[in-house]
């Protein structure tokens, strides 16, 4: 056996390991599960689709009670840009709950992961997925439209959301949509940033685990954790006043080491010249992304209801 098969070059214990020959071993996450024709707990239907040769997604449709058009939520999963999947058990169960509570169609994006595909690939895939949704508004020869979106989606009510790394993606996509046009003239009504993965050099030392992971998933970042993609407060980052949506919700939790940066983000957005509305949910006694790991606790149900209420408020 080649020594590269066993020689470890990167090791984040209990998270991810990379071997000299390029093999990647993911140690954290939940198993991949199939979509559900109808989830027994929520009545939500799901199926897997190809957005492009590189990008896939799982699309969710709530139990329909009438012919009304439903808001569309484009969702980006968490996992530090290198773990988890739109097709994993935890995300599948969570999206079923969110879709049922919010009465939205959700497109959960399977963006490509580092280290095989280092950043900015995840950002580009995530943007491309949102552009794909917008393409359904237009008549493009050869573009195959997704029937669930065409038949049941309201393209004037598009939101984006994500947890952890997904929350970071939401921030970056929202900024980009403030300066670039989306297909079909689609506008982002609301952005949901749950436990967003932001870092700063003042909050996290260079040798901290989050800082090391950022260097691992984005080796081309010039200034480490003071790269604008992970640190929205640095001078060279795009102004928060250009965020391209009308409403934002940020969720943090008391026992999450990212909590203070999430709160700092809300304050910074409020102090910018952005014209929208931003709100904060701060959950006592809980940890990072707790509502995904166990959707059935009272606090998880309350948080999911809070997200659903925000979505409904955006779509009034």
Tokens of 73: 């939520």
List Cα–Cα distances, 97 to 22, 45, 90, 167, 281, in angstroms. 37, 11, 11, 18, 18
Burial 142-170 (b: 16+ CB within 10 A, else e): eeeebebbeebbebebbbbbbbbbbbbbb
* Closest by CA position to 307, among listed 146, 93, 159: 159
Residue 219: DSSP 8-state: T
- Which contiguous run of DSSP H or E holds residue 209? helix 209-217
Catalytic residue from among 39, 163, 203, 256? 256
**Total residues belonging to the chain:** 316
CA gap 13, 312 in Å, rounded: 41
Nearby residues of 154 by Cβ (< 8 Å), 6 or more positions away: 69, 70, 71, 72, 315
164 is catalytic: yes
Which neighbouring-strand residues pair with 277? 247
Three-state secondary-structure class, residue 38: coil
Neighbours of 69 (CB within 10 A): 13
Tokens of 152: 């049941």
Catalytic residue from among 164, 177, 191, 211? 164
5 is catalytic: no
Strands ordered across the beta sheet of 8-12: 8-12, 16-19, 24-26
Residues marked as catalytic: 164, 256
């Amino acid at each position: 056996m080649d020594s590269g098969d066993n020689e470890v070059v990167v090791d984040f214990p209990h998270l991810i390991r990379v071997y000299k020959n390029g093999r990647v071993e993911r140690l954290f996450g939940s198993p991949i599960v199939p979509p559900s024709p109808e989830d027994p707990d929520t009545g939500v239907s799901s199926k897997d689709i190809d957005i492009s040769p590189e990008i896939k997604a799982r699309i969710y449709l709530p139990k329909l009670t009438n012919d009304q058009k439903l808001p569309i939520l484009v969702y980006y999963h968490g996992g530090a840009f290198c773990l988890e999947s739109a097709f994993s058990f935890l995300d599948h169960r969570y999206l079923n709950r969110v879709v049922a509570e919010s009465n939205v169609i959700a497109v959960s994006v399977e963006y490509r992961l580092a280290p095989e595909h280092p950043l900015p690939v995840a950002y580009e895939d995530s943007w491309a997925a949102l552009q794909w949704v917008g393409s359904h508004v237009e008549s493009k020869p050869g573009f195959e439209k997704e029937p669930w979106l065409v038949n049941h989606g309201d393209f004037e009510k598009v939101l984006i959301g994500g947890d952890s790394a997904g929350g970071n993606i939401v921030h970056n996509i929202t900024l980009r949509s403030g300066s670039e046009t989306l297909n079909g003239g689609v506008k982002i009504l609301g952005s949901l940033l749950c436990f967003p993965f932001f870092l700063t050099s003042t909050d996290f030392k260079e040798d901290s685990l989050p800082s090391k992971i950022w260097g691992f998933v984005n080796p081309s970042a010039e200034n480490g954790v003071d790269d604008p993609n992970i640190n929205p407060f640095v001078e060279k980052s795009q102004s928060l006043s250009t965020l391209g949506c009308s409403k934002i919700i940020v969720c943090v939790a008391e026992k999450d080491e990212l909590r203070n940066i999430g709160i700092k983000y809300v304050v910074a957005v409020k102090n910018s010249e952005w014209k929208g509305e931003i709100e904060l949910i701060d959950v006592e006694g809980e940890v990072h992304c707790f509502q995904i790991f166990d959707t059935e606790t009272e606090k998880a149900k309350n948080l999911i209801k809070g997200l659903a209420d925000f979505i409904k408020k955006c779509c009034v």
